[in-house]
Structure 1
Amino acid sequence: MTKPRYWLVIPAAGIGQRMNSDCPKQYLRIHDRFIVDIVLSRLLDGLTFDGCMVALHRDDRWWSTTASQCDPRVQVCEGSSERHLSVLVALQALAEQAGEDDWVLVHDVARPCISCEDVQNLMTTLALDPVGGLLAAPVTDTLKRVTGSDHRVSETVDRGRLWRALTPQMFRFGALRAAIESVVRAGVSITDDASAMEYIGAVPQLVKGRSDNIKITVPSDLALAAFLLDGASVERKPK
């Protein structure tokens, strides 16, 4: 049996409306580096992939100024306004290179604090899994459900079996493509790749990841990400 290969897919066609900036959040800078460059360098330099596809907005005018655009390991395609459609386009762009049983790891471009140790653990844990899965972190905050627009608490939600879905999310190339195609045909709205797999009846496995794998969504997240990246840099320095 042929050994499966590993492909990295980065949907980066979003416009980051909640950041209130003049450019999409993947082109904001942390320590004078574009977020997209931080993400790609951390993953491609720290792990072994057979290829990488980045889905960009059709009107993207920043990619050509990144360090990643010179990286021969990185390919690009035209993405979509919706994340899952960008992932599907990226998979279609890889179709002539990837095998049906190859693994695809999809990572949010707005998660620059990803730990390569977490990703390696994800790849190792799921190597023989029939479905695949995703990094996730258990919910630690107390959760409240509200009713109405006045935000009055209706109940406290049991958090014992609740996890935060993170990325990367790792599934077989053919299965993930078929799952997203099914979602598109049905007109179903999803927010991550695992949801597409769940839609076709698959049961993804959760692999515990670091809770500091944050997603940059609002302006205050930039400072937090910079702080976390500083800490990660200190951790990696030889003693």
Structure 2
Amino acid sequence: MTNKVASIAAVIPAAGRGRRMQSATPKQFLVVHGKTLLQHSVDAVLRDPRVEHVFIASDEQNEQAVAKSLPNISFVAGGVTRAESVLSGVLHAITQGYTHVVVHDAARPGLPAAVLSAVIDAALSGDNGAIVAMPVRDSLKRSEPDSDMISTSVSREHLWQAQTPQVFTAALLADAISEMGVEHPQLTDEASAMAYLGYHPRLVMGSLKNIKVTHPEDLELVTAILAPPGR
């Protein structure tokens, strides 16, 4: 595949509740600097002109969540699991003729444009696709079963922490998720599904700014990352 024949859409799964945020409002609809996290994430993936459309898989039809009136935004039905929501978005992208999909978390609003560009470039170089990831920096420990006692230390060599975006050929990703099953316990991200079919996605260096809002304190970090210049 080359850039000349590729047509790219983004898929943002946004049906989750984000219970670890301890908020009555789903985290993707929390507002930072006048926009929901979802809107910030949509804006981030549209910074690359190669991304022509964004499919938001959600069970929320919130008028304030994102500028739904824009022609390059579509809401599609979300699912019970992340994988089900992603598959819904990918199938809609395929129906509309897109060859590749950029899957990005709804609550990962600080994606730098250079990182997005790099992962798309890497994914378009072959069928394996590519994901954004960061090398593990901290010491890793494994606990005893059902205990907070350390069992052993784990080498961090060659270990990466996966982020999004994750970019793949749309048809291959749809087949991979369907084959693995949307409720498979090891289907934790799109790269997991591709690996299940024997593909080896490339790793593209991510950014500490590309944090996923999961816990309440993450919101403070994202607020600082997204602050307009001069604030």
TM > 0.5 fold call: yes
Give the alignment partner of residue 127 of structure 1, picking from 124, 127, 134.
Answer: 124
Name the CA distance, whole Å, in 1 between partners of 2:66 and 2:91: 25
Name the CA distance, whole Å, in 2 between partners of 1:12 and 1:165: 18
Contact map agreement 1:47 1:116 (CA 8 A) in 2: no
Aligned to 1:77: 76
Name the CA distance, whole Å, in 1 between partners of 2:212 and 2:205: 16
Unaligned runs of 5+ in 2: none
Aligned to 1:13: 15
**Number of residue-to-residue matches in the alignment:** 228
Aligned to 1:51: 53
Unaligned runs of 5+ in 1: none
Name the CA distance, whole Å, in 2 between partners of 1:115 and 1:10: 16
Instruction: Give the Å deviation of 1:46.
Output: 4.5
Instruction: Give the Å deviation of 1:136.
Output: 0.5
User: TM-score normalised to the size of structure 1?
Assistant: 0.89
Judging changes above 3 Å, is the alpha-carbon distance between structure 1 residues 7 and 64 closer, same or farther for their aligned structure 2 residues?
Answer: same
1:229 and 2:226 are equivalent in the alignment: yes
Name the CA distance, whole Å, in 1 between partners of 2:191 and 2:110: 21
Query: Percent identity of the aligned residues?
Result: 33
Contact map agreement 1:40 1:68 (CA 8 A) in 2: no
Instruction: Give the Å deviation of 1:27.
Output: 0.4
- RMSD over aligned Cα, in angstroms? 1.9
Name the CA distance, whole Å, in 2 between partners of 1:228 and 1:173: 31
User: TM-score normalised to the size of structure 2?
Assistant: 0.92
1:29 and 2:28 are equivalent in the alignment: no
Which residue type is aligned with residue 171 of structure 1? F
- Tell me the secondary structure at the aligned position of residue 181 of structure 2: helix
**Matching of residues 129-208 of structure 1 within 5 Å:** 129-184=126-181, 188-189=184-185, 190-208=187-205
Contact map agreement 2:38 2:66 (CA 8 A) in 1: no
Q: Which structure features the higher share of helix residues?
A: 1
Which residue type is aligned with residue 8 of structure 1? A
Which residue type is aligned with residue 188 of structure 1? H
- Tell me the secondary structure at the aligned position of residue 140 of structure 1: coil
Judging changes above 3 Å, is the alpha-carbon distance between structure 1 residues 202 and 45 closer, same or farther for their aligned structure 2 residues?
Answer: closer
Name the CA distance, whole Å, in 2 between partners of 1:46 and 1:177: 23
- Tell me the secondary structure at the aligned position of residue 68 of structure 2: helix
Which residue type is aligned with residue 80 of structure 1? G
